[in-house]
Structure 1
Amino acid sequence: MSLVAPVTVQKINGETFSEAPDLLAVEEPLEIRLGFGPIHDRQQRPVSVTMRTPGNDDELAMGFLFTEGIIHQPSDVVSCRHCVQDAHKEGNVIRVELHPDVVVDWSRLSRNTFTSSSCGLCGKATIESVMAISPGPLSSDLAVEPVMLHGLSSRVREVQRAFAYTGGIHAAALFDADGTLQLVREDIGRHNALDKLIGAAFWQNWLPLSQSGIFLSGRIGVELVQKSWLAGVPLLAAVGAPSSLAVQMAQEAGMTLAGFVRDGRFNLYSGAQRVCPVAQTT
């Protein structure tokens, strides 16, 4: 399945109409199914349906399941592949087979998915529930210079293949202290892009990501801080603004949070000690 789809549009410039070809970011549903249980009693259960841009679906599934607390290390997973039984859903169903010894806490899927503003949780309860499954406040000696953060947006844009064609897709990028991009993943959904990135790192046994930062192409909601915290990321930066609850959670996590990272400027909302100027002015 392609990341982009062709379309014909009507372009209006003043009073002039013209027809022109264009490209759109593809959006398709992905159903994540779990195979679980002892060898003599294997079961299957759908756990999530998310709208995503096709590609890196296995990483998306891994990232989602890790940040939901269902899996903890690569050995928990026996296989991850697209289902072929459902012909009418070709490419849009992926099944993750868990090791028979993995016990699934189904309550975590409902307790820790904070995508709805009407979920009934207040900010304090949201943070406390994440703290219950997190490894605690982040401990990392990662330190970066402002000039490195200033250059992240353009470096990520240079490798965003789908964005270059559509202008309508998000990116999540993993970078080191020098600003070298280690991984970049794209998706029409901000959460999916981050899940793909974390899933790729999870599968390569890189977690916790205590010496890396993550750069996001959009705004920072609390659930993006949650996912980054669970992956052990000490620095989260984004082009857009954070929400109030995202800042609160970053402070509880001991995470450095930078917003509005663009045009040679950014705001630090927590963890300012990790961003070190080359020389202090007096």
Structure 2
Amino acid sequence: MGRVTARRRVLRVREGHASYRPDTLAAEEPMEIRVGGRPLAVTMRTPGDDFDLAAGFLVSEGVLHRAGDVAGIRYCAGATADGGNTYNVVDVGLAPGVAAPDPSLERNFYTTSSCGLCGKAGLDAVRTTAAWSVAEDPLRVGTDVLAALPDRLRAAQRVFDSTGGLHAAGLFTADGELLCLREDVGRHNAVDKVVGHALRSGLLPLRGSVLMVSGRASFELVQKAVMAGIPLLAAVSAPSSLAADLAADSGLTLVGFLRGTSMNVYAGDERVHHAAEAGRHSGGGS
């Protein structure tokens, strides 16, 4: 299995004093995803939870919808100097009757750890039809619950403490209970790992849940949330305009700049309630 972290000797300068010391870095290695032995894509990721990553990627592509769609996932033998396995090639076998990826998806490009699915030609190619609708999800979440999520996400990150260089995605209940957390150098990989875990555990669609991410909310992350049936996506940083458009079109609640008690709700604000609102509705407001 690949390493999650790597050590490197660095020159450290602090207040005019220089010294050499070891530093811990988040590992980043390529992983090729195959379906039925046929290469589909290569992504740069932090090793670990690779089967979840491959499964989640295929959920976002509309290939997988439930645990029974997967016949098996395995590492393929890789070429190393000693003839061992690099653990950087994962092959997903589809169950009988499950359609293989559309040939248009077999684009033989690689996705970087920061940009997501960079090789897609246009918006129509990215707007994959979701198996479930999030628009009618009755989820309601208090602003007090949302405000606590970034600290809960950060507290659960194990590798970030030693590297400072990993994104995280966490799946929470409406009450703020952490269900699953994954880390990766790529925010979209972290989300795929969460979704893949849910798929393999038979939990899709993830109705009534909240997805919290440590970075910004890109179009790809909104798409992945919608494809997994998640009705609310929250991020500590800003969303893109396309992310907000897709959230509004899909009926997903999108929260950005979630820092302390401050936040912006860019779409689906009917799912977010706060104490003042509750007071007005109960007659306690002035």
TM-score, with structure 1 as normaliser: 0.89
Which of 225, 229, 233 aligns to 2:230? It is 233
Instruction: Indicate if the aligned counterparts of 2:41 and 2:106 stay in contact, CA closer than 8 A.
Output: no
1-side partners of 2:257 and 2:11: how far apart?
Answer: 33
Which of 98, 101, 104 aligns to 2:97? It is 101
Moved over 4 A (4+): none
Structure 1 partner of 2:31 = 30
2-side partners of 1:3 and 1:69: how far apart?
Answer: 29
Structure 2 partner of 1:115 = 117
1-side partners of 2:273 and 2:255: how far apart?
Answer: 13
Structure 2 partner of 1:92 = 88
Structure 1 gaps of 5+ residues are 36-43
- How much does 1:170 deviate? 0.5
Instruction: Indicate if the aligned counterparts of 2:39 and 2:106 stay in contact, CA closer than 8 A.
Output: no
Which moved further from structure 2: 85-94 or 142-151?
85-94
1-side partners of 2:261 and 2:229: how far apart?
Answer: 27
Aligned amino acid, residue 5 of structure 1: A
Instruction: Indicate if the aligned counterparts of 1:69 and 1:108 stay in contact, CA closer than 8 A.
Output: no
Structure 2 partner of 1:60 = 53
Aligned amino acid, residue 49 of structure 1: V
2-side partners of 1:86 and 1:21: how far apart?
Answer: 30
Asked if 1:197 is matched to 2:203, the reply is: no
Aligned amino acid, residue 193 of structure 2: K
Instruction: Indicate if the aligned counterparts of 1:137 and 1:252 stay in contact, CA closer than 8 A.
Output: no
Aligned amino acid, residue 54 of structure 2: A
Would the alpha carbon gap of residues 241 and 233 (structure 1) be closer, same or farther in structure 2, given more than 3 Å must change?
same
Which of 196, 210, 213 aligns to 2:210? It is 213
1-side partners of 2:31 and 2:197: how far apart?
Answer: 17
- How much does 1:194 deviate? 0.4
Q: Secondary structure at the match of 2:159?
A: helix
Structure 2 partner of 1:5 = 6
Aligned amino acid, residue 93 of structure 1: V
- How much does 1:137 deviate? 5.0
Instruction: Indicate if the aligned counterparts of 1:80 and 1:96 stay in contact, CA closer than 8 A.
Output: yes
- How much does 1:108 deviate? 5.5
Identity %: 44
TM-score, with structure 2 as normaliser: 0.87
Would the alpha carbon gap of residues 251 and 197 (structure 1) be closer, same or farther in structure 2, given more than 3 Å must change?
same
Instruction: Indicate if the aligned counterparts of 1:171 and 1:216 stay in contact, CA closer than 8 A.
Output: yes
Instruction: Indicate if the aligned counterparts of 1:145 and 1:276 stay in contact, CA closer than 8 A.
Output: yes
